[in-house]
Amino acid sequence: MGLFDVREANKASREAQGFTMRPMTALPPAPGDDLHPALELANTLQTTPAGTADLIANPESATAWLSQRELLTEGISLGRPCATRLLDLRDAVRALLAGVIGQQQPPETALAVVNAALIAVPTADLLAWDTGRGLHRSARHPLDRATAHLLAVIAVDAVDLLTGPDAAKLAACGAPRCSRFLLRTHAARQWCSVRCGDRVRAARAYARRGMSTGARTL
């Protein structure tokens, strides 16, 4: 399957899942987001009963998200094609996370996208020199390779996450209609945020009150 076919499949998958963009306040970071940029990328699509927030929905927001995490060289902005490649990688990582958590075979399209990012460009830092620092490591890459480099960095982290010791800690948020993933900080952890936990507990309390009221009316 070519990359064009992969991108078309990912686009169709997003549409099939019916993500409706309604205004929603972005959620706080999920457990593990600070450790794995691949997990944080997957969680840029945030769906709850309140609506859906896509933190990298367009080139401007994608550029801002990457810059805030120092994944993009200063002064570089993503164009539409590069932003689409980032969305494709997010879809692939989300599919692989769901497969690991559900113990299912991963989609070949997801593997193809991640592997394409891995082999597109070397991920090692460059050796640079200037009068102030002398020889030093530099993450700066030629302008035409900057996007390929940052996608490769995220893809490498995705491989580490999916095949390393943290893979056993991966979980999907237990709150209904929440789309986020997390690393369990302890065995009892079920929610990606306090907000999701409070929502589930409130729903349970409401259900118990309804059952109690129904019993009294019998």
Mean pLDDT of the chain: 84
pLDDT recorded at residue 1: 45
Beta pairing class for 181-183 and 170-172: antiparallel
pLDDT recorded at residue 90: 98
pLDDT recorded at residue 169: 96
pLDDT in tens, 25-80: 678 999 999 999 999 999 999 988 888 999 999 999 999 999 999 998 778 899 99
pLDDT recorded at residue 126: 77
Rounded to two decimals, the pTM is 0.78
Lowest mean pLDDT among 7-16, 113-122, 143-152, 198-207: 7-16
Q: For helices 108-120 and 80-102, what crossing angle results, to 10°? A: 130
CATH topology of domain 3-217: Jann2411-like fold (1.10.3300)
CA 70 to chain centre: 16
Q: Is the pLDDT of residue 208 over 90?
A: no
Q: CA–CA separation, 105 vs 211, rounded Å?
A: 41
* Residue 8 pLDDT level (bands cut at 50, 70, 90): low
Domain ranges of the chain: 3-217
CA 186 to chain centre: 21
Lowest mean pLDDT among 22-26, 149-153, 166-170: 22-26
pLDDT recorded at residue 19: 47
pLDDT recorded at residue 187: 82
pLDDT in tens, 89-114: 999 999 999 999 999 999 999 999 99
Instruction: Give the residue with greater pLDDT, 202 vs 23.
Output: 202
DSSP 69-92: TT-S-TT----HHHHHHHHHHHHH
Task: Answer yes or no: are the C-beta atoms of 169 and 178 closer than 8 Å.
Answer: no
Q: Is the pLDDT of residue 202 over 80?
A: no
